Amino acid sequence: MTLGPIVCATRGGEASRSTQEHAVALAEERGAALIFLYVADYEFAASLEPRLLETVRDELANLGLALLSIAQRRAARKGIKAQVAVLCGPVRETIHHYLVQTHASMLVLGASGPPTRHRVFTPEEVLHFAESVAKGAGAEVHVVTPEGKVLKAGAGTESPAKPTG
Amino acid sequence: MSSLISAEVIIVVLMLVATVVAIVIRRVRLPYTVSLVLVGLLIAAWRPITVEVTPELILAIFVPPLVFEAAFHLDIRLLRGGLASIVFLAVPGVIVTAILVGGVVALGAGLSVGPAVVFGALISATDPVAVVSLFRALGVPERLGVAVEGESLFNDGTAIVVFQIALSAAVSGEFRFADSLFRFLEVAIGGLAIGLALGWLVAQLMARIDDRLIETTLTALLAYGTYLAAERLHVSGVLAVVAAGMYSGNMGLRGASPTTRIMLFSLWEFLAFLSNSLIFLLIGLNVHISELAANATPIAVAVGAVLLSRAIVVYGLSWLADVASRGTRIPFQWRHILFWGGLRGAISLALALSLPLTLAARGTLQAMTFGVLLFTLLAQGTTVQFLVKALGITGGSEHQRDFERRVGQSFALQAGMRRLAQLREEGLLSQDMWSGLQANFRAQKDQVMREISRLFRVHAELERDTLLQVRREVLLAERAALDDALRRGVISEPIYDELRRNMDYRLEAVRLIQEHEHGLEES
């Protein structure tokens, strides 16, 4: 039976580099395909006129593609041929649907800094989301902090990220 | 006609002086407005030109664009958080300042209570220009800038109203509290109501018209028309412009295209710059050092009174505002900035010049005003940056500043390498010199690039921020290329308009994304 791909969701935040490196290391270790995913969530611009809203979405997608291309090149230097996907929509729902659609075996995502009013993902929310993804999409979830700590959904354990060189 | 030409000559000369100051100041660590005052003082001592400044000139010509621009830019969402503090500082704060300063000046400088309170009122309006531009340069939190600017916007209006009431009482010798309170509310609320009504009207028109020139003209009409209409109806012109500016800047722009927005913001930024430049030059030009020296004691008392009242208002009323706002507090450290950053400027100057000839001690009051203006601009305006730094409220984290430093070094090294190659082509360098210097440059450049890569690795969000900045630079270059193509006749006007509009939308979208990302980081 072929192992489903590892999906690494990234948005260029402070934990993104360690998250991507962890995903690359896992792909290498498990021999699984790797997909870097960027979700352009333009909810913050919802009150804008339609044309500007559309442009914000396009520019976010452009930014996402640039970020993922950089991640893809870095993965290639480690010998991993990763794919990239840029999707638009609300972050959590879009990631969830994508995992189901691609039959992903694992989701790797980052958790940034302390909990704040505006953050897309506070560490607690990430873990909560990870739990629901683990149940709903049947995928294993690793949450990586900017310091490289890895929190595993459901397992309640934490371990340092594998050194990736 | 000849007087019109003379006026034009003076304006051109003043604009030239302001431009030279603006260019020179880029190399000197002094606030622009402070430099203008100093240059104005020098010119006044030398006296090659004489400019007669009337209060009407300042209040009706220069103040509306200044106030409108500040109100137009003020984000109502950010203002809402600190509204209680702003209202406390701008309404009770002005009244308390007028009474306190009046009391101290009456006791310390031997003035009658009436004229002393008139002085207290005219000196109560703060002028944030020097401080706000400094905030931008130092990158202090946006909310602090909004607090300073918001207070100033509203206290300009309330100070004028309190001044008029105090002046009327001083001239007539009668003061009735109930009448004065009613008059204060009538003038203030009347001004705000007219401003909101006209702001709404213009916003409705702007929503139905998609033409950047007409929309921009409408805002100019709004700024000056609101002021004139309110003054004609004997209510506060300044508060009317504040309300009109805030309404049109926050609501009226909702349907405006990015092209219109860019044009509007550019025009108002320019008009505010021009008004400020002329006002602060005029302040310097109108100060007579000999008169200041003759009134040294009353000026010293006035400066002490202004500082004392500012401390009481900022520290005392901010506490009350915290209680009233239930949670949204102005951090204690920010209050030191509000205290020392409470500079005085255009409104105080205009009001001092408008004092009637019949008012007792008119000359002393004007000398005290100029003295306080000079003190706040030269002593506070030049040192507030050190206070901001000492309190550690400059924006950005250490790694962001470090990144900026490395990028600056990289830019400089790149330019150095280009020049080196040029010198080699010109035959100034031998092969050995070229190889040695190039190797040295490369080593330095590699070191800087390694450091930048390290920062990208440890603080990954810097990479995203850089990508957004680069995208913006690229779009600006593309827009400039379109302008060039139109100028050279490569593309027609309709195609240019279509492409330019698209480019403006993209630039606006990138700005919104940067703002959003910054919000995520800052929060």
Taking CA B41 as the corner, what is the angle to CA B39 and CA B43, rounded to the nearest 5 degrees?
Answer: 70
Q: If you ran DSSP here, which 8-state letter would residue B396 be given?
A: S
Q: What is the mean pLDDT of residues B424-451?
A: 90
Residue A124 corresponds to which amino acid? E
What is the rounded CA–CA span in Å between residue B14 and residue B68?
22
Residues in contact with B347: Cβ distance below 8 Å, sequence separation at least 6, in sequence order: B63, B122, B125, B127, B156, B159, B160, B238
A106 touches A142 (CB < 8 A) = yes
Which three-class secondary structure state does DSSP give residue B435?
A: helix
How far is the alpha carbon of A60 from chain B, nearest alpha carbon, in Å?
A: 7
Q: What one-character-per-residue DSSP string does chain A give? A: -PPPPEEEE--S-TTHHHHHHHHHHHHHHHT--EEEEEEE--GGGTTS-HHHHHHHHHHHHHHHHHHHHHHHHHHHHTT---EEEEEES-HHHHHHHHHHHHT-SEEEEE--SS--SS-S--HHHHHHHHHHHHHHT--EEEEE-TT-EEEETTT--EEEPPP--
Which three-class secondary structure state does DSSP give residue B338?
A: helix
Burial B353-364 (b: 16+ CB within 10 A, else e): bbbeeebebeeb
Q: CB A14 to CB B509 under 8 A?
A: no
Q: CB B459 to CB A62 under 8 A?
A: no
Q: CB B463 to CB A70 under 8 A?
A: yes
Compare A147 and B505 and report the one with higher pLDDT.
B505
Shortest CA distance from B256: residue in chain A: A49
Q: Which of B77, B459, B461 to mutate to test the interface with A (most CBs of A within 10 A)?
A: B461
Nearest to B506 among A11, A44, A55 (CB): A55
Q: What is the pLDDT of residue B37?
A: 83
What is the rounded CA–CA span in Å between residue B374 and residue B351?
16
Compare B501 and B129 and report the one with higher pLDDT.
B501
Q: What is the pLDDT of residue B255?
A: 67
Q: What is the mean pLDDT of residues B75-103?
A: 83
Taking CA A93 as the corner, what is the angle to CA A89 and CA A94, rounded to the nearest 5 degrees?
Answer: 50
Q: What is the pLDDT of residue B292?
A: 85
Candidates B241, B260, B397; CA nearest to A14 is B397
Residue B381 corresponds to which amino acid? G
Which three-class secondary structure state does DSSP give residue B95?
A: helix
Q: Which of A113-122, B18-27, B115-124, B336-345 has the highest mean pLDDT?
A: B115-124
Shortest CA distance from A16: residue in chain B: B460
Q: CB A49 to CB B255 under 8 A?
A: yes
pLDDT at A123 over 80: no
Nearest to A118 among B258, B456, B519 (CB): B519
Residues of chain A with Cβ-Cβ distance to B327 below 8 Å are: none
Neighbours of B386 (CB within 10 A): 10
Q: How confident is the model at residue B467 (pLDDT cuts 50, 70, 90)?
A: very high
φ and ψ of B260, to 5 deg: -65, -45
How far is the alpha carbon of A8 from chain B, nearest alpha carbon, in Å?
A: 15
Task: Report chain B's mean pLDDT, rounded to a whole number.
Answer: 85
Q: What is the pLDDT of residue B400?
A: 81
Q: How far is CA B217 from CA B30, B223, B272, in A?
A: 35, 10, 16
Compare B238 and B41 and report the one with higher pLDDT.
B238
Q: What is the pLDDT of residue A163?
A: 35
Least confident of A126-130, B178-182, B274-278, B497-501: A126-130
Q: CB B520 to CB A17 under 8 A?
A: no
Taking CA B179 as the corner, what is the angle to CA B177 and CA B183, rounded to the nearest 5 degrees?
Answer: 115
Q: CB B505 to CB A12 under 8 A?
A: no
* CB-count exposure of residue B233 (10 Å: 0-12, 13-18, 19+): middle
* CB-count exposure of residue A121 (10 Å: 0-12, 13-18, 19+): buried
Nearest to A66 among B255, B467, B505 (CB): B467
Q: What is the pLDDT of residue B130?
A: 67
Q: Which of B513, B514, B515 to mutate to test the interface with A (most CBs of A within 10 A)?
A: B513
Structure tokens at B203: 């916003």
Q: CB A119 to CB B520 under 8 A?
A: yes
What is the rounded CA–CA span in Å between residue B191 and residue B462?
46
Sheet holding A140-144, edge to edge: A83-88, A34-40, A6-9, A106-110, A140-144, A149-152, A158-160
Compare B176 and B79 and report the one with higher pLDDT.
B176
Residues of chain A with Cβ-Cβ distance to B399 below 8 Å are: none
How far is the alpha carbon of A145 from chain B, nearest alpha carbon, in Å?
A: 12
Q: CB A16 to CB B471 under 8 A?
A: no
Q: Give percent above pLDDT 70 in chain B.
A: 93
**Residues belonging to chain A with any Cβ–Cβ distance to chain B shorter than 8 Å:** 11-18, 44-45, 48-49, 51-52, 55-56, 58-60, 62-63, 66-67, 70, 116-120, 146
Q: What is the pLDDT of residue A113?
A: 56
Shortest CA distance from B521: residue in chain A: A119
Alpha helical stretches, state H, B428-491: 431-458, 461-487
pLDDT at A119 over 80: no
Residue A37 corresponds to which amino acid? L
* CB-count exposure of residue B265 (10 Å: 0-12, 13-18, 19+): middle
Q: How far is CA B487 from CA B85, B164, B209, B480, B481, in A?
A: 51, 54, 27, 11, 10
Structure tokens at B66: 């200044």
Q: Is the pTM of this model over 0.80?
A: no
Candidates B371, B378, B374, B372; CA nearest to B306 is B372
Q: CB B509 to CB A59 under 8 A?
A: yes
Q: If you ran DSSP here, which 8-state letter would residue B173 be given?
A: S
Q: What is the pLDDT of residue B306?
A: 96
Q: CB B460 to CB A13 under 8 A?
A: yes
Q: What is the pLDDT of residue B361?
A: 87
Helix B129-138 crosses helix B381-390 at what angle (to 10 degrees)? 40
pLDDT at A159 over 50: no
Q: CB A45 to CB B254 under 8 A?
A: no
Shortest CA distance from B502: residue in chain A: A55
How many residues are listed for chain B in this entry? 523
Q: Give percent above pLDDT 90 in chain A.
A: 50
Candidates B47, B55, B166, B164; CA nearest to B113 is B166
Residue B62 corresponds to which amino acid? F
Q: How far is CA B75 from CA A156, B438, B446, in A?
A: 44, 50, 43
Nearest to B509 among A15, A55, A116 (CB): A55
Q: How confident is the model at residue B175 (pLDDT cuts 50, 70, 90)?
A: confident
The residue to which tokens 């009456």 are assigned = B106
Q: What is the mean pLDDT of residues B219-246?
A: 94
pLDDT at B470 over 80: yes
How far is the alpha carbon of B511 from chain A, nearest alpha carbon, in Å?
A: 9
Q: Beta strands A149-152 and A34-40: pairing type? A: unpaired
Q: What is the pLDDT of residue B104?
A: 95
What is the rounded CA–CA span in Å between residue A60 and residue B511?
11
Nearest to B461 among A14, A55, A56 (CB): A14
What is the rounded CA–CA span in Å between residue B388 and residue B100?
27
What is the rounded CA–CA span in Å between residue B91 and residue B96?
9
For chain B, the 3-state helix, strand and coil shares in percent, each to the nearest 5, are 85, 0, 15
Q: What one-character-per-residue DSSP string does B24-86 give? A: HHTTS-S-HHHHHHHHHHHHHHH-S------HHIIIIIIHHHHHHHHHHH--HHHHHHTHHHH
Residue A62 corresponds to which amino acid? N
Structure tokens at B440: 């040295």
Residues of chain B with Cβ-Cβ distance to A18 below 8 Å are: 460
Q: What is the pLDDT of residue A115?
A: 43
* CB-count exposure of residue A147 (10 Å: 0-12, 13-18, 19+): exposed
**Residues belonging to chain B with any Cβ–Cβ distance to chain A shorter than 8 Å:** 254-255, 258, 456-461, 463-464, 467-468, 471, 505-506, 508-510, 512-513, 516, 519-520, 523
pLDDT tens across B383-406, in order? 888 888 888 777 667 788 888 889
Which three-class secondary structure state does DSSP give residue B488?
A: coil
Residues of chain B with Cβ-Cβ distance to A62 below 8 Å are: 471
pLDDT at B39 over 70: yes
How far is the alpha carbon of B457 from chain A, nearest alpha carbon, in Å?
A: 6
Residues in contact with B253: Cβ distance below 8 Å, sequence separation at least 6, in sequence order: B206, B261, B264
Least confident of A17-26, A44-53, B127-136, B150-159: B127-136
Q: How far is CA B181 from CA B94, B98, B176, B375, B494, in A?
A: 14, 15, 9, 32, 58
Tell me how far the alpha carbon of residue B331 is from its chain's centroid: 22
